[in-house]
Structure 1
Amino acid sequence: MGFCIYDSYFSERWTYRTTIGLLSTQNRFVPNYKCDTHDNLKAVIGGLYSEISLVMATILGTYKVPQFTYGSAPMMTDNSKDLSFYQMAPNEAHQYEGILQLLLHFSWIWLGVLVADDDNGEKFLQTLMPQFSQNGICVALIERVKAAYITDIFDMLKWGSQLYDTIMGSRANVFIFYGETQSMINWRWLLHLPEMGYTTMGGKGKVWILTAQMELGSLIYQRGWDVQPIHGTLSFTVHSKELHGFHNFLVVRNLSRSNNDGFIRDFWEQAFTCVSPDSDVDREAKDICTGEEDLESLPGTVFEMNMTGHSYSIYNAAYTVAHALHVMLSSTSKHSIITEGEILKLQDQQPWQLHHFLRGMSFNNSVGDKIYFNQNRELEAGYDIINWVTFSNQSFHRVTVGMMDPQAPPDQQFTINEGVITWHSWFNQALPLSVCNDNCHPGSRRKEKEGKPFCCYDCVRCPKGKITQYVDMDYCIQCPEEQYPNKNQNSCVSKVVTFLCYEEILGVTLASFALFFSLVTVLILGIFLKYRNSPLVKANNRNLTYTLLISLLFCFLCALLFIGRPVKLTCLLRQTAFGMIFSLAVSCVLAKTITVVLAFMATKPGSNIRKWVGKRLAISVVIFCSLIQAGICTLWLATSPPFPNFYVHSEILEESVLECNEGSVTMFYSLVCYMGFLAIICFILAFLARKLPDSFNEAKFITLSMLLFCSVWLSFIPTYVSTKGKYMVAVEIFSILASSAGLLSFIFFPKCYIILLRPKLNKREHVLGRKY
């Protein structure tokens, strides 16, 4: 295939002129007039810039000439959708996704964006800005970069110095630069400003992310500039492979051996700043080219010995046209021997006929990459992620560190090997951070700053009882009920299960008192059984006395049910046993009080009350009063029985109190109130009978015991409500022991004193009030 190469000079005017010239007879600028059968145009590869490609397409599209673009895809309008484009670079949407995944992988959420001031730059912003916001990424600044020309160099220097100071003063350590090859020249110019003395701010290391359209290049005056500022840069590039033999082909190229290469002399003179021996320019101003200069000695910013992404795209475009022409020729000749006539017939084919074969074209190039177009006439390929490593001799090396492969499974499309990435020396080879402010560590949460982007926030310590387990959480969370926050409030720790147990001092003390009073009760019961025939024991129904002592014994012992680990059985027995036993005890005291009152009333002449005095009345009172309490307990157990439960709202966060939940608080207080009602009735009757004539009036001691009993249980209710956990249990045990001890001491200690120490008073005459 023959070819012609033209320069657009970055000018739309020259681009129109050259494109029309392609459609004319060679060396004759006559549009629509072709008289040369050997130089028929079949396809065009170009241009490097999207605007130039679009200008070319307006002419070529009229003639349906296939156009292969290898730079940025032009912005299509409704009028340009039918143009004959074949995009040799992958769809830019894959590059956008790759940039987003790269930022998310390294948690870079505060960044700057520089874009070329053109339609593609605006498309880049409109596409990625919403995606950044949706993924928690904020943009610190957005700058549109215009091409720098000599005519406005001073304005550009002023603007560039301001932009450089803004970039270096920003907390953002990551900057994305979207543009084309011309933007690369602007970028290098921007980073060179400190060396030019146009900014006083010292250079800081930044992570630059460049897009695939930006190939490293230099103008003549930039070739000696330091390349260290670009050290550690990450860039996307069209996926490519090194072609076999390409490096060796470049090594043997020189001015002497390339007489047939029309470009070699111009390139050689500019690359080595020399003049050819046969040149007409002033030879005194420059050295004479020897023709044997070594291309490998040139800096990488001037000439790379490896094939770049753009070159690889051009290579594939040329072979795509060749394969399509081959298929078209094979189809035309029907696999016959190609003759000169067939070649002429092929040359007579029109360019628009090539589209049919290009759309279905699929082949493997020389390095094994499959080349084919999708339905949008875009090359199906991916992007490589390159890390630029520079050296002190102005050379640099491209290291492939990752890839964005749209053909791979969704979870494998983006890959990155951060272990081989070389960062700028500013970061001391540590992973650069790019955040608006320092991260909020576990134990604190983020709080938005008013008037600032959502990536900028303050860190606020979690309130008491809450935690955050991860970095930069928006809300503090409550630990589960059985756990509590640790000291740093970054994790939950299981609470220590506590209850009133025998191993602690409080539990041992209360249990000791319960056993002590139980032993005392047993001793008193033994005394009364031993002296059961004495007048003092027989007085006021000794069976009631025995019942009262036994019930008091069980009152002391039932306090032990409240100590130890609560289980279902003990929870069911605690309050019901306490209520029944205490009701029995108070009923016995009430029966004794009624017996005392009725006994003295029966001594009056003509009294009819004598028939009520006796054991039957006392037994009836005890049974009746106890049955009412039994009914309350039965209803309680049938409707809402107590059960073991963890009390997690303890004042001590580290503890979870295992207690017996009362089930129904109403039934519990009904039980206590009924017991209190019996005690008040008993107290009133005993108080009224305290002055009845008798040497040993038991009503006086019952009054004192009931006064203590009522005082204890009246103070119990507010104290019980105001305490929690095991101390609430201790309050109830104390009330049980105190009230039981009061009954035991005030009613039975005086009798034991007389029986044991004053036996002379234990006589019938003295008990009945007869004096000697």
Structure 2
Amino acid sequence: LIVYLFYFILLYIVFYLFCTVGQFNLNRMQKSGDVILGGLFPVHFFSSIPDLSFTSHFYVQGFRQAQTMAFAIDEINNNSSLLPNVTLGYTLYDNCVELGIGFRGAFSLVSGQEEQIILHNTCVGNPPVVGIVGDSSSTRSIAISSVLGLYRVPMVSYHDRQKYPSFFRTIPSDAFQVRAMIQILKYFGWTWAGLLITDDDYGLHAARSLQSELSVSGEGCLAYIEVLPWDKDTDELRRIVNVMKKSTARVVIAFVHESHMINLIEEVAKQNVTGLQWLASEGWTATAAVLQTTKFMPYLCGTLGIAIRRGEIPGLREFLLKIRPDLHHNTNYGNSMVNEFWEFTFQCRFAPAPAGWLEGGGALCTGQEDLENLNTEFLDISNLRPEYNVYKAVYALAYSLDDMLRCKPGRGPFSGHSCATLQSLEPWELLYYLERVNFTTPFGDQVSFDKNGDVVPIYDVMNWLWLPDGSTTVQNVGEVKGSAFKGEEILLDEDKIFWNFNSKKVTHVQSVCSESCPPGTHMVRKKGEPKCCFDCIPCSEGKINNKDSLECTSCPEDFWSNPQRDHCVPKKTEFLSYHEPLGICLTATSLLGTCTCAVVLGIFFYHHRTPIIRANNSELSFQLLLSLKLCFLCSLLFIGRPRLWTCQLRHAAFGISFVLCVSCILVKTMVVLAVFKASKPGGVTSLKWFGAMQQRGTVLCLTSIQAAICTTWLVSASPTPHKNTQYQNDKIVYECAFGSAVGFAVLLGYIGVLAFLSFLIAFLARNLPDSFNEAKLITFSMLIFCAVWVAFVPVYISSPGNYADAVEVFAILASSFGLLITLFGPKCYIIIMRPELNTKKSIMGRGSES
């Protein structure tokens, strides 16, 4: 709103002056025609001197741009296939690089006359131009656009089409210039740069855009932003150069104009600031004044910059050689720009001399001076850049007119399908066709405007080269091209680039706030500094990083970081394996127990008729040996990689085997107690309740309860294989999840109840009179059994990973060996080593002796 308000006030003031003052003395060049095109060019510029007076200077390049427009119009008029039977004319004004004079020229173009007729305080007059080749400055274009936009006169220039929809660009916008700079920074890996700008739309827009683009892309940071003073403020320039010297940024981006750059580089040379890599904006990349100052070259050679794309305009030099001054008209109203050029080039003057343009005297101009033999910049067409875009702008307007005049009545794009006519042509009608124009220049560049009024943007990348003879030139080393689909693309010929360093290698031009973090580390930004300044901190375990980023990446679940923290490697898998020493030992112990049971079973079977076996219930002894054998074998289910079937079977087999074993012991103990009571008077009754059938039934019933517990557990919450990563982050521990901790607790609890009952009954029967009282052995075996399993619970809970399975296997084997040795060891000793004691008399005798 503030900007629009400013334009409104400015526009009001200009309209007031325009409609009341009336007379303007504008420097111009014109040619009549059926259709008139307008143009604004910087032919003169003013410079101030200490006494606050002003001196005008002739700007040859600006005059050549105006002549390029005249050449293009002349070429179109001679082209029978383009605008046949229509002659183009032109009116070109000198804006003197001043906003006020540029406004005057714009009003003159849209009004058609420099003297206005005032009727009822209103300016009248039909606009004689249908299109304007606009000003080359962003600042002046934006201001003038506010005026021309009211008339909807097409203008081909540099500025923001969103605000001014009747304007177009044939050169890239300043926004693309910023993105082109970023592409160069990205190409060479320069992430830390300083920025110098001018205090105008050109510089301030560049600063905003550069900061925004760098922030979005994350490609780099600005170490500092300094605004160069308009005048030669020595103190301010010294301060800015000191900032550049102290900064760690070795790349300096300069979005400035030529005059600003000259003032700055003088201070750089005074302080002898070397080792900087300059990136030049289009405003001073190919500046002759800077290049021709030899003392600047030690500091500026090697500069990289971007420039408007160079083009070829065949026949332009011949056209320029035909220029002749107008000797028959007053220079204020004729082609005064040609006369001014002639006076400047040949250092002469016409009579009378135009006031203010050329100081001092000099020879009189004849108009017959020879241009061809004169060494002048005006005739150098080897580096046509702004001129080439003026050329394209004129042709864009011409092709639009041609498309408009080819419209067939009844098929037009306007109301009622009408067509525009040359006699009643309105600028907005031409605007419709200009938006859709599409042609190819002789140089091969396609020209068409997108919805923003822009052509396909392209910049040449230039490099300042120091030649062996001490002179300096600017060479093309690549280009930056924009694309609607791929963004900006940069092409560079690195072998051609001149680096102003001893090594001449780009690797020696480093400009980063912090070096890239090595693999395995991540960036941690330094407090209070830009994001490009950071420390490198190693990644934590389980995370990796192979690029500059703020965070390390966590490895997938089954992977872990390597020691260097730069790759994820598969986690080590861990389980109680048959191949590791612990697994081998437990497997061997299990097989040893199984074989021992088989041997004892064989001994008992072979000697089953001997008194010591018959006296201790041989059937239960055989059942007990078989159950112990199952206990030893079930421990093998806990060794090896857990599978679904092993997880489901291991605890069921373990629980049923041990209940079968303990129930046999319990029945054995009860039988011993019943036999003793039966030996007393009236005790026969108690013995009949513990016959063979009752014993088998009791064992089966007690075992069936455990089977039911196991079945319920498996059905409701079956144990399953589980990859446990809680014990060690870098390992995967394969184990069997219980599914239900309650089911496992009930299973163990039931075994514990039976074992406690067996221990209690055996303890009560330990002192019964008998020469070979098995109750004592059962008491001792149950004591070992209970001790093992009571110790097992806390050790199992606290054991990590595969050691939990090892603890359970150890408990199974220890309790099984305890039962096997305590219950069957003494009997085997007597059977094998002391057979003389294995007699009924010896057993009964011992009973009487005790």
TM range (shorter): 0.7 to 0.9
Q: Distance in 2 between matches of 1:431 and 1:478?
A: 36
Q: Tell me if structure 1 keeps the 8 A contact 2:292–2:472.
A: no
Q: 2:203 aligns with which of 117, 121, 124?
A: 121
Aligned twin of 1:89: 171
> Does residue 604 of structure 1 match 2:683?
no
From 774, 777, 790, the counterpart of 1:714 = 790
- Are 1:132 and 2:214 counterparts? yes
Alignment-derived partner of residue 573 in structure 1: 649
Q: Find the counterpart in structure 2 of residue 684 from structure 1.
A: 760
Partner of 1:672: 748
Paired residue for 1:340? none
SS at match of 2:506: coil
Contact 2:195 2:254 in 1 (8 A): yes
* Aligned partner of 1:203 among 269, 274, 287: 274
Q: How far off its partner does 1:510 sit? A: 1.6
Q: 1:481 to 1:321 in 2, by over 3 A?
A: closer
1:704 Cα deviation from its structure 2 partner: 1.2
The match for 1:49 is 137
Deviation of 1:632 after TM superposition, in Å, equals 1.2
Q: In the TM superposition, what is the alpha-carbon distance from 1:514 to its structure 2 partner?
A: 1.8
1:467, 1:476 within 8 Å by CA — same for their partners in 2? Answer: yes
* Partner secondary structure for residue 294 of structure 2: coil
In structure 2, relative to structure 1, the CA distance for the partners of 1:65 and 1:481 (3 Å cut) is: closer
Contact 1:690/1:703 (<8 A) preserved? yes
Describe the shift of the 1:46–1:627 C-alpha distance in structure 2 as closer, same or farther (beyond 3 A): closer
Instruction: Write out aligned runs for 1:354-365 (5 A).
Output: 362-365=438-441
The 8 Å contact of residues 175 and 206 in structure 1, kept in 2 or not, is answered as yes
- What are the superposed Cα offsets for residues 512-548 of structure 1, whole Å, 9 maximum, x if unpaired? 2222222222222121112111111001211000111
Q: Any conservation in 1 of the 2:258–2:290 contact (CA below 8 Å)?
A: no
Partner of residue 147, structure 1: 230
TM-score (norm 1): 0.79
- The one-letter code matched in structure 1 to 2:195 is V
Q: What's the secondary structure of 1:387's corresponding residue?
A: strand
| Bigger mean CA deviation after superposition, 2-11 or 455-464 | 2-11
Q: What does 1:249-328 align with in structure 2 at a 5 Å threshold?
A: 263=341, 266-267=344-345, 306-320=382-396
Q: Is 2:300 aligned against 1:217?
A: no
Kindly tell me: are residues 600 and 368 of structure 1, through their superposed partners in 2, closer, same or farther at Cα, counting changes over 3 Å?
same
Distance 1:691 1:428 in 2: 102
The one-letter amino acid paired with 1:611 is K
Instruction: Indicate how the Cα distance of structure 1 residues 103 and 639 shifts in structure 2: closer, same or farther if over 3 A, else same.
Output: farther
Matched, 1:368 2:444: yes
Aligned to 1:649: 726
Aligned to 2:665: 589
Taking only aligned residues, the RMSD between alpha carbons, in angstroms, comes to 4.3
Verify the 8 A CA contact 1:247 1:306 in the aligned structure 2: no
Change (3 A) 1:216 1:252: farther
Conserved 8 A contact 1:185-1:217: no
CA contact (8 A) 2:638 2:805 kept: yes
- Which amino acid in 1 is paired with 2:268? P
- For the structure 1 residues 351 and 462, does the alpha-carbon distance in structure 2 shift closer, same or farther, using more than 3 Å as the test? closer
| Structure 2 residue identity aligned to 1:263 | F
Q: Write the distance in 1 (CA, Å) between the matches of 2:143 and 2:135.
A: 9
Look up the equivalent residue of 2:275 and give its one-letter code.
K
Q: Are the counterparts in 1 of residues 112 and 129 from structure 2 also a CA contact under 8 Å?
A: no
Correspondence 1:415 to 2:489: yes
Q: Report how far residue 428 of structure 1 moved.
A: 2.4
Counting only pairs closer than 5 Å after superposition, residues 477-626 of structure 1 correspond to structure 2 as 477-607=553-683, 608-626=685-703
Q: Distance in 1 between matches of 2:687 and 2:167?
A: 126
Is 1:770 paired with 2:841? no
| 1:384 and 2:472 aligned | no
- Which residue, 530, 541, 562 being the options, matches 1:453? 530
Instruction: Name stretches of at least 5 consecutive residues in structure 2 with no aligned partner.
Output: 1-29, 32-69, 71-90, 119-127, 324-337, 349-359, 364-369, 408-421
Letter in 1 for 2:639: I
- Give distance in 1, aligned partners of 2:645 and 2:811: 22
Query: How big is the shift at 1:246?
Result: 5.9
Query: For each residue in 1:317-366, what CA deviation from the matched residue of structure 2 results, as whole angstroms up to 9, or x when unmatched?
Result: 344566678889999xxxxxxxxxxxxxx999999997787666654333
CA contact (8 A) 1:646 1:656 kept: yes
* Matched pairs, number: 703
Taking the aligned partners of 2:436 and 2:140, their CA distance within structure 1 comes to 27
Distance 1:354 1:617 in 2: 116
The separation in 2 between residues aligned to 1:61 and 1:251, in whole angstroms, is 37
Is the CA contact 1:24–1:32 (under 8 Å) kept in the aligned structure 2? no
Residue 368 of structure 1: how far off its partner (Å): 3.2
Change in 2 beyond 3 A, CA 1:67/1:760? closer
C-alpha distance in structure 2 between counterparts of 1:356 and 1:514, whole Å: 96
Distance 2:112 2:660 in 1: 127
Report % sequence identity: 33
In structure 2, the partner of 1:342 is none
- The answer to whether the 8 Å contact 1:21/1:31 transfers is no
One-letter code of the match for 2:159? Answer: A
Deviations 1:465-497 (Å, cap 9, x if unpaired)?
x22333233333332222111011122111233
- Inter-partner Cα distance in structure 1 for 2:802 and 2:266: 75
Structure 1 residue 434, shift from structure 2 partner: 4.5
Whole-Å separation in 1 of the counterparts to 2:437 and 2:613: 122
**1:221 & 1:397 partners in 2: Cα distance?**
9
**CA deviation profile, 1:90-127 (whole Å, cap 9, x unmatched):** 44444455455555566654443333211343344445
Q: Which moved more, 1:455-464 or 1:591-600?
A: 455-464
Instruction: Give distance in 1, aligned partners of 2:842 and 2:724.
Output: 58
Aligned mates of 2:255, 2:789 — CA distance in 1:
83
Residues in 1 aligned to 2:732 and 2:181: alpha-carbon distance in whole angstroms: 50
Structure 1: stretches of 5+ with no match in the other structure: 34-39, 254-259, 271-278, 283-288, 332-345
* Structure-2 separation of matches of 1:25 and 1:735: 111
- SS at the partner of 1:513? helix
Cα drift, residue 688 of structure 1: 1.6
Which residue in the other structure is 1:193 paired with?
A: 267
- What is the rounded CA distance, in whole Å, between the counterparts of 1:365 and 1:390 in structure 2? 30
- SS of match in other structure, 1:415: strand
Partner of 1:275: none
Give distance in 2, aligned partners of 1:349 and 1:606: 141
Question: How far apart are the structure 2 equivalents of 1:578 and 1:500?
Answer: 17
Flag the 1:56–1:585 CA change in 2: closer, same or farther, 3 A.
Answer: closer
Per the alignment, in what secondary structure is the counterpart of residue 493 of structure 1? Answer: strand
The CA deviation at 1:43 is: 6.5
Secondary structure class of the residue paired with 2:813: helix
Query: 1:236 touches 1:383 (CA, 8 Å); kept in 2?
Result: no
- Give the 3 Å change call, closer, same or farther, for CA 66–735 of structure 1 in structure 2: closer
How far the C-alpha of 1:440 sits from its partner, in A, is 3.0
TM-score (norm 2): 0.72
The answer to whether residue 159 in structure 2 is matched with residue 73 in structure 1 is: yes
- Mapped partners of 1:305, 1:133: distance in 2: 40
Partner SS for 1:537: helix
Tell me, yes or no, if the aligned pair for 1:20 and 1:31 is still in contact at 8 Å: no
Task: Give the whole-Å Cα distance in 2 for the aligned partners of 1:105 and 1:382.
Answer: 19
Q: CA deviation at 1:65?
A: 7.2
Q: Distance in 1 between matches of 2:321 and 2:755?
A: 116
